[in-house]
Amino acid sequence: MKKASRGLASVLAAVLVLGSQVLISPAPYALGQNAQTDNNIQAELQNSLKKFKGVQVSVKNGVVDLEGTVNDYAAKEEIDKKAHRTKNVVAVRNKLQIAGAGEISDAQLQQAIVKKLQYDRVGYGNAFNAISVNVQNGVVTLGGNARGPVAADSAVSLASHFRGVQDVINNISVDPLSPMDDRSRLQVYRAIYGYPSLNRYALDPAQPIRITVVNGNVTLNGVVDSQADKNVAGIRANSVPGIFKVTNNLQVANPSNEK
């Protein structure tokens, strides 16, 4: 009976009552176990991040702190994902800095990304992607439309690898799956790019006239040489059977040169 009483007393000693809350002190071995777990996490991360020079990893109570400098935002994201996927990690504080911050202006960065995106997914229906780019303080915001999730992911990846980009916000709308819209896309493409006065645009891998079709509604984006080309493209899109509405957002490259 005395042994049972001593056992109960030791249990009660481990329980602290505070108002309506009951706080149970951790078992004596918990601290040592946590320290070993932290060491395991740190060792695993350091091994998986060997290719990233200049990255420091520290772990306390399952919380990972990442510090240092990486070449681009894509590397920062990759490291972050590796940390989150590591066993027993509770949280990640990503304090990594990106090299090249401020070395290139927002306007220059935006122009470079736009130019690169024009040739992204060439041969895979890039004419059906109309992705916009905005850059503020090194933060890139992608908008507009993509034909599918692969095209959207490709655009995000492309922007993430530019030196100086501090973050990438993905606001791209992925067009819904629709066999009818797929048929209309091809018909509008042929109607525009196959027309004699517009046929030269088909020779450019960038496919400067971008075609978005959502629920039978067509939007034209991109740049053409003249107002006449813009007007013809709109008329040709409107000529396709089953199209409900055409929004012609095509820009004219040098409107001041037109008579």
Mean of the pLDDT values across residues 43-68?
Answer: 94
Domain boundary among 98, 118, 142: 98
- For Cα atoms 110, 113, 114, give the angle at the middle one, nearest 5 degrees: 85
In a domain, 79, yes or no: yes
Predicted pLDDT of residue 256: 67
Domain that holds residue 218: 179-257
Judge if 144 and 205 occupy the same domain. Answer: no
Predicted pLDDT of residue 32: 54
Domains: count for the chain: 3
Give residue-wise pLDDT tens across range 123-140: 999 999 999 999 999 999
Predicted pLDDT of residue 11: 41
In a domain, 22, yes or no: no
In a domain, 92, yes or no: yes
Write out the two tokens for 55.
């990255």
Judge if 194 and 247 occupy the same domain. Answer: yes
Judge if 186 and 235 occupy the same domain. Answer: yes
- In 10 A of CB 16, how many CB atoms? 11
Quote the CA–CA distance of 93 and 113 in Å, as a whole number: 29
- Does pLDDT of 259 surpass 90? no
Strand 209-214 and strand 21-24: the pairing is unpaired
- Enter the pTM of the model: 0.80
Domain boundary among 53, 78, 98: 98
Predicted pLDDT of residue 258: 63
In a domain, 15, yes or no: no
In a domain, 166, yes or no: yes
Judge if 82 and 110 occupy the same domain. Answer: no
In a domain, 221, yes or no: yes
In a domain, 199, yes or no: yes
- Does pLDDT of 17 surpass 50? no
Instruction: State the CATH number of the domain containing residue 196.
Output: 3.30.1340.30
In a domain, 115, yes or no: yes
Mean of the pLDDT values across residues 170-185?
Answer: 97
Gyration radius of the chain over CA positions? 29
Q: Is 145 exposed, middle or buried (0-12, 13-18, 19+ CB in 10 A)?
A: buried
Quote the CA–CA distance of 65 and 13 in Å, as a whole number: 35
Model confidence band, residue 68 (pLDDT cutoffs 50, 70, 90): very high
